Amino acid sequence: MDPSDIKALTFDVFGTVVDWRTSIAREARDVGRAKGVEADWDAFADDWRRLYQPSMAAVIEGRRPWTKLDVLHRESLETVLGTHAVTGLSEAEKENLNRAWHRLDGWPDTVPGLTRLKRRYVLATLSNGNVAMMVNMAKRAGLPWDAILGAEPARHYKADTECYLITADYLGLEPSEILMIAAHNPDLIRAAKLGFRTAFVPRPTEHGAGQTTNLKPEQDYDVVAWDFTDLAQKLGC
Amino acid sequence: MDPSDIKALTFDVFGTVVDWRTSIAREARDVGRAKGVEADWDAFADDWRRLYQPSMAAVIEGRRPWTKLDVLHRESLETVLGTHAVTGLSEAEKENLNRAWHRLDGWPDTVPGLTRLKRRYVLATLSNGNVAMMVNMAKRAGLPWDAILGAEPARHYKADTECYLITADYLGLEPSEILMIAAHNPDLIRAAKLGFRTAFVPRPTEHGAGQTTNLKPEQDYDVVAWDFTDLAQKLGC
């Protein structure tokens, strides 16, 4: 791949750009402390995230009209609070905890890498997170996006092909002019099938120290980089 | 209006943020020079822009499916080239001239003002320009948007109310939490009717030295500012 053929970079966000697990566990722990509730907060974060795919399934399969991820997260939160016997939260407290997904921290290399990449490329999100979530997260974490795209503007969650192709259409580009960046093999394999260029950036502690998935590239991607500064280096930024 | 009640600023772009007339006339003049064609290039820019509202009317009235502004501009360009007897352009040259709308310059206060405003507020476009146009324009002119919203993500052109309300929904905000900024009274009057807060920033040379419209506020807006640095000052940024 010649980096000069690439006009835009699209990013998976949860896990790839931000460390959702540490951020969610921290906010949940703070809530528990305030409420005098003890729980395994890493497991709480994992369980909440585990409901993510099932919660989108009804939308993807057409059994439910378009629904923002904020709403799906809020529904899943009820389940997770029950599982971990976290009680006594007011509606406002639950809403605030749900908004923890708007306050995720980048990985240490995220902002330095994106800042270098932005000099040469259009940087856009291609995430299942809704626009307000992505905007608020970017504002707090300093993520220098040029455009917030992905599921909500496309009205299709990944892995629907529309999510990828409508994003390319918004950018006014062919998929072959776009480099999709993700820490997850399935996301890149789907993007590659649609003609996107692909870059794998592993995040080996996304799911904690015992992570067993997505440690290695499972296909021959255009770029494999250790982190976003390495990605910038490999793209000549 | 208390500035701390405002969470996001949404901006009309053509005229309000960028000086489309000078930019388009300059690029058209360059094409004319290269092709050895003489014309009144300011009038060329004015005539091209004059076709803007009529070109959207078919979409707004439902007689035509959603069509990006890039496509409408390209159709209008054929008319304007005819009117001004500009001939001999290849398809690639026409396409490049059409993309002049992606290369509009900000007013002198635009970038300094937006940079100050961005420290405190989410800044989003609420323009009829399509996403690629807004992204490319921002990249070149240094416009520090947090989100590119407006007509294309809403699939409705202004003045449809959906264009404003879907933008608020993307931001996850009530209209009353959003300050709409425009140099055009009709845009602000419509936004105010929908509950948006409003700021008028006149651009008295948008249409050239002889401009007679939108020189003064025609309603009691929340803010009237001379330019974007004055707006930043008035919002305490």
Residue of A nearest to B119 (CA): A139
The length of chain B in residues reads: 237
CA–CA distance, A223 with A85 (Å, rounded to integer)? 44
Measured CB to CB, residues of chain B less than 8 Å from chain A are 70, 122, 124, 130-133, 135-136, 138-139, 145-149, 152-153, 170-173
**Residue in A closest to B118 by C-alpha:** A139
- The pair of three-digit structure tokens given for residue A213, joined into one six-digit string: 């998935």
The whole-angstrom distance between B64's CA and the closest CA on chain A is: 19
CATH of B20-102, one of 3.40.50.150, 1.10.10.10, 1.10.150.240, 1.10.1270.20: 1.10.150.240
Average pLDDT (B177-197) is: 98
**Residues of chain A by 3-state class (helix, strand, coil), percent to 5:** 50, 10, 35
Q: In the CATH scheme, what architecture does the domain A3-19+104-234 have?
A: 3-Layer(aba) Sandwich (3.40)
Report the predicted TM-score, pTM, of the whole model to 2 decimal places.
Answer: 0.97
pLDDT for res B126: 98
Q: Looking at the complex, report in whole angstroms how far the Cα of residue B40 sits from the nearest Cα belonging to chain A.
A: 31
What band does B42 get if pLDDT is binned at 50, 70 and 90?
very high
Contacts of A135 in chain B (CB under 8 A): 122, 124, 146-147, 171
List the single best residue of A123, A134, A148 to mutate versus B (max B Cβ within 10 A): A148
Please report which helix (H) or strand (E) contains residue B198, including its range. Answer: strand B197-200
Question: Which residue type sits at B199?
Answer: A
Calculate how close chain A gets to B161, using CA atoms only, in Å: 18
Per the CB < 8 A criterion, the answer to whether B181 and B12 are in contact is yes
Query: Which DSSP letter does residue A61 get?
Result: T
CA distances from A147 to B44, B66, B124 (A): 31, 21, 10
Digit-coded pLDDT (tens) for B56-74:
999 999 999 999 999 999 9
Whether residue B170 contacts residue A152, with contact meaning beta carbons closer than 8 Å, is answered with yes
- State the smallest CA–CA distance between residue A85 and chain B in angstroms: 30
Interface confidence (ipTM) of the complex: 0.97
Contact A135/B152, CB-based, under 8 Å?
Answer: no
Task: Output the pLDDT for position A122.
Answer: 98
Q: Which phi and psi (to 5°) does residue A209 adopt?
A: -65, -25
Domain coordinates in residue numbering, chain B: 3-19+104-234, 20-102
Give the full edge-to-edge strand order of the sheet including A147-150: A147-150, A122-127, A8-11, A178-182, A197-200, A223-224
Of the partner residues B130, B132, B170, the one whose CB lies closest to the CB of residue A131: B170
Strand ranges of the sheet holding B223-224, from the earlier edge strand across to the other edge = B147-150, B122-127, B8-11, B178-182, B197-200, B223-224
Residues B108-147 pLDDT 10s: 999 999 999 999 999 999 999 999 999 999 999 999 999 9
Task: Give residue A160's pLDDT.
Answer: 97
